[in-house]
Amino acid sequence: MNSYWWSQRNDKNVLFVKYEDMQRSLSDVVEKVASFLGWPITDKNLPELLKHWRVGDWKNHFTVAESEAFDELYREKMAGTGLKFDYEL
The residue ranges of every structural domain in the chain are: 19-78
66-83: per-residue pLDDT in tens? 989 988 998 888 888 887
Phi and psi angles of residue 36, each rounded to the nearest 5 degrees, phi first: -60, -40
The DSSP-derived string for 27-73 is HHHHHHHHHHHT----TTTHHHHHTT-----GGGT--HHHHHHHHHH
What is the average pLDDT value for the chain, to the nearest integer? 83
12-52: per-residue pLDDT in tens? 999 988 888 888 898 999 999 999 999 888 888 888 888 76
pTM of the model: 0.56
